[in-house]
Structure 1
Amino acid sequence: MNAVTIGGVTVGLAILIYYVVLWWPGRKALQNTPLPHLSRLAPFLAAWAYGVLAILTVGGLVGWIADTTLWVSSWLGDVALVWGVGGQAGQAAGGAAYQPLTQTGGAVVLLLTVAVIAGVKKARCGRDLKLGAWCGICLGTSAGIAGFAAVPLAEAVNWTGATVFGVIV
């Protein structure tokens, strides 16, 4: 697992800010009819949770893609910090203690991978799914709120895997 740098966290937060600004319907619209507007966030949030889980995988193709995405995002963010605002590259952001996925938890993440790929190819919200997963990968191991979300997500997936595959097997 790659360590996220401040540049990687910056990329993740930039994606989040970009998405929220595009989504923002306005205060009055949210006050009058909140449910339709909030439901437009669902694909992004679901993909964000998937991205957090993908970066927690320890190996395989899903883990390699997530690690590579994190590495590239950290590199791009570091370049942006150095050339954009004169910062320093390669500083590791505070990493969160993460909950490893069990064998059955990994199986659930693999099934979620199939769902995300199908959603990206089929659904109108493919862009939202891509941005959400990318954001989750960038923020999933940071020490902030996203890092704290990784532990309950991993525990939920591990429990789901144990429950589902325990019944089947």
Structure 2
Amino acid sequence: MNLNLGSTAVSLGGVTAGTIIVVLVLQRWWKKGSGGGKKGDDGGGRDWKQLIPFVVALCFGILAVLAAGPISVLGLITRLSLWAGDGIGTLYLIYGVGGSSPGVTRSAPVILTPGGYAVYAIWSAVLVGQHLWSKKLPRLQSVLGVFAGILLGLSRGVAGTAAVPLASLVNLAGSWYAGVFQ
């Protein structure tokens, strides 16, 4: 377990905690969509669009842990979340199920360009505004998505690998936004 708040490292416990969050949100969506059904209803009430806020928040969290500098508000929140989630996941793996929790941090972090940071800043403002003022947004689902993304973004596994094209897409949008393309 990494107790250094300045460090951006994740253990298997943190990745496990992030994966558990994703699985539980998907399980709740699946169960909620089956609906018990009325007569003649096929029970297929699972609308994938209900998962969009969670997926957007998950992507935001993945980028947050990669992009946020340690001397920013977002960096402080991200590192505190990473530290807490990694600690809880490590304790769960070691004392809950009797396993171990080795480090699984990717070797090279993904960095955003200046335009990418501008796009990410706009995305941050939109998510905060949505969280504060939307009456239909599932707030807990969004918060859990960001938290899970923070825990999964640094891993060398599948979720961590998704960070590379995600950061590339934000950097591409940032290049367009900043007028770098000519």
**TM-score normalised to structure 1 length:** 0.86
Matched residue type, 2:120 = V
The runs of 5 or more residues in structure 1 that have no matched partner are: none
The runs of 5 or more residues in structure 2 that have no matched partner are: 1-6, 35-41
What displacement does 1:58 show?
4.3
Residue aligning to 1:86: 98
Q: 1:58 to 1:132 in 2, by over 3 A?
A: closer
The one-character-per-residue Cα deviations of 1:1-43 (angstroms, maximum 9, x if unpaired) are 51111110011011011101110024x544xx66xx1000100
Matched residue type, 2:95 = W
Where is the helix percentage greater, Structure 1 or Structure 2? 1
Q: Secondary structure at the match of 2:162?
A: helix
Residue aligning to 1:20: 26
Q: Secondary structure at the match of 2:59?
A: helix
Question: How many pairs are equivalent?
Answer: 162
Matched residue type, 1:68 = L
Q: Percent identity?
A: 35
Maintained 8 Å contact 1:56/1:63: no
Maintained 8 Å contact 2:22/2:148: yes
Distance in 1 between residues matched to 2:29 and 2:23, nearest whole Å: 10
Matched residue type, 2:125 = V
Distance in 1 between residues matched to 2:99 and 2:78, nearest whole Å: 26
Residue aligning to 1:49: 59
Q: RMSD of the TM alignment (CA)?
A: 2.0
Maintained 8 Å contact 1:48/1:135: yes
Distance in 1 between residues matched to 2:65 and 2:105, nearest whole Å: 16
